[in-house]
């Protein structure tokens, strides 16, 4: 009989100044890497025999989507998050963990202003939607959690490429700061039965 699927969806809000909902300490980024790394947050040992990272996201390579222009790829960073944070430790188990990247997009929108003395602005919105499912050999799910995090950035339309890339990188770091905190909370709450040595 198919096991009941426990699915929790949480929306993480984000603004250009950062998300203030979660007060946990942010992870310490590795300044020598282009992408954020999450080793300082510690491993979560799962009682599964394997962890599969599956991406369902396909970039369109056309506006309003601009994720392909970002120096730091949200999709690649999501894969690094799974690599840094999750560990399969029960190789006798019939369970597997699936990490599913559903969305890793960035959109761009021009915001014209009516005031002659003000500059037009560009608004960027970055979204990361990722789910974790515990499944058996028949791909039947016994538990799962899903988090959607988003971050927005508004800058003058005439911002230089160099400055844009600095703003973009900062936005991605803030996005993953919020995501890392929420998904950590969700895993310990909704997947606790599959965490090794869970209190």
Rounded Cα distance between 1 and 83, Å, is 32
Tokens of 80: 């690094």
Using the CB atoms, write b or e for 16-25: b if 16+ within 10 Å. Answer: eeebeeeeee
Q: What pLDDT score was predicted for residue 17?
A: 31
Tokens of 132: 């974790």
Q: Which residue has the higher pLDDT, 9 or 118?
A: 118
Q: What pLDDT score was predicted for residue 12?
A: 41
Min mean pLDDT across 23-37, 54-68, 136-150 is at: 23-37
Min mean pLDDT across 65-69, 134-138, 160-164 is at: 134-138
pLDDT in tens, 68-104: 999 999 999 999 999 999 999 999 999 999 999 999 9
Sheet with 141-156, side-by-side order of all strands = 9-12, 141-156, 121-135, 96-111, 51-55
In this prediction the pTM is 0.81
Average pLDDT, the chain: 85
pLDDT above 70 coverage of the chain, percent: 82
Rounded Cα distance between 86 and 97, Å, is 9
Question: What does the domain layout of the chain look like in residue ranges?
Answer: 9-194
Q: What pLDDT score was predicted for residue 29?
A: 45
Q: Which residue has the higher pLDDT, 139 or 23?
A: 139
Tokens of 166: 């600095």
Q: Can you say how many angstroms the Cα of residue 166 is from the centroid of all Cα atoms in its chain? A: 19
- pLDDT reading at 152 higher than 50: yes
Q: What pLDDT score was predicted for residue 59?
A: 93
List the alpha helices (DSSP H) in the chain: 74-85, 161-190
pLDDT in tens, 42-58: 999 999 999 999 999 99
- pLDDT reading at 160 higher than 80: yes
Q: What pLDDT score was predicted for residue 140?
A: 79
Q: Per-residue pLDDT averaged across 121-140, rounded?
A: 93
**Topology of domain 9-194, per CATH?**
Rossmann fold (3.40.50)
Report in angstroms the alpha-carbon separations of 50 from 54, 110, 189.
13, 44, 21
- pLDDT reading at 23 higher than 50: no
Cβ atoms of residues 195 and 44 within 8 Å: yes
pLDDT in tens, 2-17: 333 334 433 343 333 3
Total length of the chain: 199
H or E stretch including 133?
strand 121-135
């Amino acid at each position: 009989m198919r096991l009941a699927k426990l699915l929790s969806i949480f929306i993480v809000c984000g603004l250009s100044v950062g998300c203030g909902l979660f007060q946990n300490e942010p992870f310490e980024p590795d300044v020598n890497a282009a992408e954020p790394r999450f080793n300082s947050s510690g491993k979560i040992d799962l009682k599964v025999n394997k962890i599969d990272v599956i991406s369902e996201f396909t970039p369109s390579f056309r506006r309003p989507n601009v994720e392909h222009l970002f120096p730091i790829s949200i999709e690649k960073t999501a894969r690094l998050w799974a690599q840094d944070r999750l560990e399969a430790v029960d190789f006798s188990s019939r369970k597997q963990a699936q990490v599913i990247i559903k969305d890793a997009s960035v959109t761009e929108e021009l915001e014209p202003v009516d005031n002659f003395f003000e500059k037009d602005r560009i608004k960027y919105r970055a979204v990361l939607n990722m789910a974790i499912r515990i499944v058996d050999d028949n791909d039947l799910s016994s538990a799962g959690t899903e988090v959607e995090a988003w971050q927005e950035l508004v800058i003058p339309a005439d911002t230089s490429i160099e400055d844009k890339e600095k703003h973009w990188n900062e936005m991605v770091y803030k996005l993953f700061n919020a995501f890392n905190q929420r998904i950590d909370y969700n895993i310990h709450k909704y997947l606790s039965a599959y965490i090794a040595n869970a209190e």
